[in-house]
C-alpha cells in the first residue's frame, strides 16, 4: 500500500493525527493507497511555513522565481509517463488522456506563468501635470489553492503557478479523491530546490483540512475550483477574515447547433464536448440544443457516434471512456439516470452501468448516454450531472435557443455552431456564459479570462487576471 503524504516546510510527512484515508483505483473498485488525513494542526504548520518563507520568496527577483517554475516544469516533463500513469490509476481516466492532456498541461501551466512572472506590469495614471499615480502590484502572502478531482494536477498547477509567479507562498489542498499527483508534485518541488515553505501540500478531507485553511487569519486569498455547493461554503468560511476569493464552480453548459452549421465538424465535436473525460469536465456541453430542421439527422448521427465510444480499462491504449472517479460519484450519476427516466426522458443510447471484462470487472463504469424528450425546466436539464450523460432539446428560433441556453442557474461555458457570422456574434453576446466557443470547443489560449457567470463562478483565472488576483493593487500618488 502506497502512502500519499503532505509536503510541509520542504519535507514530506504523514498527518499530525497519524490518521489515513483510503485512496481507490476506480477502474478496479479497490483501495490501493492511503492518504494522510490532515486537520487544522497540519494546516497550521503549513501556513506558518508559508508565512516564514514569504519575505524571502516575495523579494526573490522575478527572473529567479521564473527559473524555479521552469525547473519544476522540466521535472514534471521528465516524469511525464510516471505522473500520467499515477493520474490514470487515481482518477480512472484513460492513460492516453493523462499522457496527452493532463500532465502536459501541468507543464504548460508552470512554463506559462514562468513567463508571466517576468512580463507582469502595472498601470500609471498621470493626472494632467499635477500628479503621477502608479499602481504597485504586491504579492499577498500565504494563499490557499483548493482543487477538485476531475483534472487533478492540471487544475492544481493552474492555481499554484500564478500564485508562486506573483511572489506568494502556497498552501495547496488537492482533492482527497485524487491526491496522488499532488503528493508527487510536492516531492518534485523539493527536488527542484524550492525553498522550504514556498509550496506546501496538505492532503485530506474538505471540512477537516480545507475549511481550516479557508478560515485561517494568515491566509490572504483562496483560489477554489470545485462544486457550487462547496464554493458557497468557502465564500462563507473566507468572509470572516475578508479574504480575496476566486471561485470556479459547476456548469450545465449548452451546445447550440444551428441548421446552417458545418455538421461534419459540429457533430463529432459535440460528442467530444459532452463525453471528454467521461463528461467530468466543468466545460462539458451536457445540454445539446438542435435547430428543428436538422434535429433528426443530428440526433441519429450523435447516437451512432456515442454508441461507438469505447468504454474500457483506462490503461488500455484503445480506451476512449474510462471509469467514473469513485463509487460515490458512480452512484450519483446512476441516480441521475433514474431521475431522467422518471421525468419522462427517452434514453437513446446507454443509460446504465457499463460492464468491462477482466481486471476492471468491479470498476465504476457507465455507458455514454443520450436522452431526449425532457423539458428544459426538469431536474435533468437544470442540475449538474458531471458524468457521461447529455440531453437533446430542439429549438425553432435563435431567440428560443438563447433562452433555453440561459435557462439554468449556471453560466460557465457554451459552444455554438453556425456559419452565419452575424448570428455567431449576436448569440455570443446574448449568452449568460463566461466562455463562448464558436465552431469549436475547448480551444484554449491561456492568456484569456477564464471563469463563469451566475452560480458558476466569482472572478476570473488565466493570464494576467490570475496575476492580478494573486496581488494587491496599491496606488501611489506623487504630487508633481
Q: Which residues in this chain contact ligand NAD in the complex, by CB under 6 A?
A: 146-150, 155, 173, 175-176, 205-207, 210-211, 214, 225-227, 230, 233-234, 237, 248-251, 282, 384, 386, 412, 452, 457
User: What's the closest the beta carbon of residue 147 comes to ligand NAD, in angstroms?
Assistant: 6
Using the minimum distance from each CB to ligand NAD, give the nearer residue, 66 or 433: 433
Contact 287, 255 (CB under 8 A): yes
Smallest distance from the beta carbon of 202 to ligand NAD, in angstroms?
Answer: 10
Of 162 and 167, the one with the shorter C-beta distance to ligand NAD is 162
Helix (H, G, I), strand (E, B) or coil at 240: coil
Judge whether 360 counts as a catalytic residue. Answer: no
Buried b (16+ CB within 10 A) or exposed e, 290-323: bbeebbeebbebbbebbeebebbbbbbeebbbbb
Q: How far is the CB of 470 from ligand NAD (least distance, A)?
A: 17
Catalytic residue from among 145, 169, 214, 282: 282
Query: Measured from the CB of residue 235, what is the shortest distance to ligand NAD in angstroms?
Result: 10
Q: How far is the CB of 289 from ligand NAD (least distance, A)?
A: 20
For residues 332 and 328, what is the distance between their CA atoms, to the nearest angstrom? 6
CA angle 360, 365, 370 (to 5 degrees): 150
Q: How far is the CB of 418 from ligand NAD (least distance, A)?
A: 25
| CA-to-CA dists, residue 395 to 157, 258, 399, 435, angstroms | 40, 9, 9, 22
CA distance 173 to 213: 9
Nearer to ligand NAD, 364 or 395 (CB): 364
Rg value, the chain, Cα? 23
For residue 383, the 8-state DSSP code is S
99 half-sphere exposure, CB direction, 13 A CA radius: 10
Task: Give the bridge partners for 479, in sequence order.
Answer: 131
Question: Is there a contact between 288 and 392 (Cβ–Cβ < 8 Å)?
Answer: yes
Those residues whose C-beta lies under 8 Å from the C-beta of residue 385, and which sit 6 or more positions away, are: 279, 286, 333, 336
* Residue closer to ligand NAD (CB basis): 94 or 462: 462
324 and 92 Cβ atoms separated by less than 8 Å: yes
CA–CA distance, 418 with 10 (Å, rounded to integer) = 52
Considering the complex, state which of residue 66 and residue 276 has its C-beta at the smaller distance from ligand NAD.
276
The one-character DSSP state at 6 is E
Packing angle, helices 180-192 and 103-119, rounded to 10: 50
Closer by beta carbon to ligand NAD, 452 or else 463: 452
Residue 66 and residue 197: Cα distance in Å, rounded? 17
Annotation says 214 is catalytic: no
Residue 205 beta carbon to ligand NAD: minimum distance, rounded to whole angstroms: 6
Q: How far is the CB of 343 from ligand NAD (least distance, A)?
A: 21
Among positive and negative, which fits the CA dihedral 466, 471, 475, 478? negative
CB of 79 or CB of 176, closer to ligand NAD = 176
- Residue with smaller CB distance to ligand NAD, 87 or 248: 248
Q: All 3 cell numbers of residue 74?
A: 522540466
- Among residues 87, 176, 237, 248, the one annotated as catalytic is 248
Distance CA 48, CA 44 (A): 6
Which residue's CB comes closest to ligand NAD?
206
Annotated catalytic residues are: 248, 282
Amino acid at each position: 500500500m502506497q502512502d500519499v503524504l503532505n509536503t510541509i516546510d520542504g519535507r514530506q510527512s504523514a498527518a499530525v493525527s497519524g490518521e489515513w484515508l483510503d485512496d481507490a483505483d476506480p477502474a478496479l473498485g479497490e483501495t490501493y493507497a492511503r492518504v494522510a488525513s490532515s486537520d487544522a494542526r497540519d494546516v497550521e504548520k503549513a501556513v506558518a511555513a508559508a508565512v516564514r518563507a514569504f519575505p524571502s520568496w516575495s523579494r526573490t527577483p522575478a527572473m529567479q522565481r521564473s527559473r524555479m517554475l521552469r525547473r519544476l516544469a522540466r521535472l514534471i516533463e521528465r516524469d511525464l509517463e510516471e505522473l500520467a500513469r499515477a493520474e490514470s490509476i487515481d482518477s480512472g481516466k484513460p492513460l492516453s488522456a493523462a499522457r496527452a492532456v493532463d500532465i502536459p498541461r501541468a507543464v504548460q501551466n508552470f512554463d506559462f506563468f514562468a513567463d508571466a512572472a517576468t512580463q507582469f506590469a502595472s498601470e500609471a495614471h498621470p493626472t494632467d501635470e499635477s500628479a503621477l499615480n502608479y499602481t504597485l502590484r504586491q504579492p499577498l502572502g500565504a494563499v490557499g489553492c483548493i482543487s477538485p478531482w476531475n483534472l487533478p494536477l492540471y487544475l492544481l498547477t493552474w492555481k499554484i503557478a500564478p500564485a508562486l509567479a506573483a511572489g506568494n507562498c502556497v498552501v495547496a489542498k488537492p482533492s482527497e479523491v485524487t491526491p496522488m499527483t499532488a503528493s508527487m508534485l510536492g516531492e518534485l518541488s523539493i527536488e527542484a530546490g524550492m525553498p522550504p515553505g514556498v509550496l506546501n501540500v496538505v492532503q485530506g478531507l474538505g471540512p477537516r483540512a480545507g475549511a481550516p485553511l479557508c478560515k485561517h487569519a494568515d491566509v490572504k486569498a483562496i483560489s477554489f475550483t470545485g462544486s457550487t455547493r462547496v464554493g458557497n461554503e468557502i465564500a462563507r468560511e473566507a468572509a470572516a477574515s475578508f479574504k480575496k476569493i476566486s471561485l470556479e464552480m459547476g456548469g450545465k453548459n449548452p451546445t447550440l447547433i444551428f441548421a446552417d452549421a458545418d455538421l461534419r465538424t459540429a457533430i463529432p465535436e459535440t460528442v467530444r464536448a459532452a463525453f471528454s473525460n467521461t463528461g467530468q469536465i466543468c466545460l462539458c456541453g451536457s445540454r445539446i440544443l438542435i435547430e428543428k430542421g436538422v434535429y433528426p439527422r443530428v440526433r441519429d448521427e450523435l447516437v451512432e457516434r456515442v454508441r461507438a465510444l469505447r468504454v474500457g480499462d483506462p490503461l488500455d491504449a484503445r480506451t476512449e471512456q474510462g471509469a467514473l472517479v469513485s463509487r460515490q460519484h458512480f452512484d450519483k450519476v446512476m441516480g441521475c439516470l433514474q431521475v431522467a427516466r422518471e421525468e419522462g426522458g427517452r434514453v437513446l443510447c446507454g443509460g446504465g452501468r457499463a460492464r468491462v471484462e477482466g481486471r476492471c470487472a468491479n470498476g465504476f463504469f457507465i455507458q455514454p448516454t443520450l436522452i431526449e424528450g425532457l423539458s428544459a425546466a426538469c431536474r435533468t436539464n437544470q442540475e449538474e450531472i458531471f458524468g457521461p450523460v447529455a440531453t437533446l432539446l430542439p429549438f425553432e428560433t435563435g431567440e428560443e435557443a438563447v433562452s433555453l441556453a440561459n435557462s439554468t442557474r449556471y453560466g460557465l461555458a457554451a459552444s455554438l455552431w453556425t456559419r452565419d457570422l452575424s448570428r455567431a456574434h449576436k448569440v455570443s453576446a446574448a449568452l449568460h456564459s463566461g466562455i463562448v466557443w464558436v465552431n469549436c470547443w475547448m480551444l484554449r489560449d491561456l492568456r484569456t479570462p477564464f471563469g463563469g457567470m451566475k452560480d458558476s463562478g466569482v472572478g476570473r483565472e488565466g493570464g494576467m487576471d490570475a496575476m492580478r488576483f494573486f496581488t494587491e493593487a496599491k496606488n501611489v500618488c506623487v504630487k508633481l
